[in-house]
Amino acid sequence: MAERKTTSSLLLLVLLLAVATTGRTQGTSNIPGAFSEAGFGVRPSGMGGAFTAISNDGNAFLTNPAGFLLGSRPSFMANYAKLFGLVPSGYFGLLYPLSKRYAMGAGFLFLGDDALSEYTLGVSLAFTFPNLPVGKNEIYFDQMSFGVTLKGRWASFGNNPDGGENQVTGSGAGFGVDLGYILYVNANLSLGVMLRDAINTFRWDSSTRGSYTEGVPATLKLGGAYRLNGTTIAFDFRKALHSDTANRAYVGIEKSFFEMVVLRAGFSNNLGTGDLNRRWSFGMTLLQGMFENYTLGINAAYRVGNIENLLRFGLHLEWGSPKAMTRGRVY
């Protein structure tokens, strides 16, 4: 795609800025016990977490808000799992195209029990611009999508009845902002950037410590995806932003058969550390047309890890006529 050099130059600039601003660690993360990444989303989980450059369904709230613009039909999804076989967790996601250059999304997450419960609710906007002539070249925004998510967070702890007379109780609330970007390099290759919790704060009220504020550590993921003949191969790289976190690599594959069955597999592990924390993932979706312009999907993913094995399952529903989209273009 030689005639579109400006697009490639802009992508390179975005990636260089992302790496340059995070090239040095920012001290320890002071990771709070709440709101850590728990691998929500059946489809991303089945691909080992490699989803940043895809994100074309309701999972975009979790993986890259720019992906909402890549969805061709309205859709709703729900999934559920029990972490360590004990702690309930779930996610509900909505994608709704507004026009050829705008789409919205929403998400709701819950995790925990009476000992510690967490809730996240937010909305996302994905958008792009008309192509922009620059001298003899042109910025081809029809190959790009930008996204932003605004989310509120709530938590409570110490409500379990077996906590004893010295039980610590409390609650908290806060907000976060996620940023995302996706570029179609050509009809087969896409690249993505996701900065989770670029801006955030959370205020706790504890029965022992009183009121105090802490942040959820930001995470940066860079990804790519290559599609050919019903097969998608994806790769992600999570850049460590703090001295006590590790770089992590993700690889996933997705294969569609007869538009009825989709199989997935993935792998991830840390880089440059003795604790690799390897995880293998497998997933599938069964698709069934319902009535006119309705499609129901039944999803499952199984993750094998050093600490626990996790089964996640869910449903998704698509409806309406798909919007007109050119392969390798946002609009």
- Would you state the pLDDT for residue 1? 46
Largest CA distance in the chain: 74
- Would you state the pLDDT for residue 173? 95
Alpha carbons within 13 angstroms on the beta-carbon side of residue 203 total 4
Topology of domain 2-22+31-319, per CATH?
A: Porin (2.40.160)
- Would you state the pLDDT for residue 235? 97
- Would you state the pLDDT for residue 261? 96
- Would you state the pLDDT for residue 27? 59
- Would you state the pLDDT for residue 144? 94
- Would you state the pLDDT for residue 124? 98
Query: Do β-strands 210-214 and 219-228 pair in parallel, antiparallel, or remain unpaired?
Result: unpaired
- Would you state the pLDDT for residue 13? 56
- Would you state the pLDDT for residue 241? 84
- Would you state the pLDDT for residue 19? 57
**Positions in the chain short of pLDDT 50:** 1-2, 20, 23-24
Whole-angstrom distance, CA of residue 17 vs CA of residue 6: 16
Per-domain boundaries in the chain: 2-22+31-319
Global confidence as pTM: 0.91
- Would you state the pLDDT for residue 106? 98
- Would you state the pLDDT for residue 59? 96
- Would you state the pLDDT for residue 24? 46
- Would you state the pLDDT for residue 118? 92
Quick one: which H or E segment has residue 283? Answer: strand 279-290
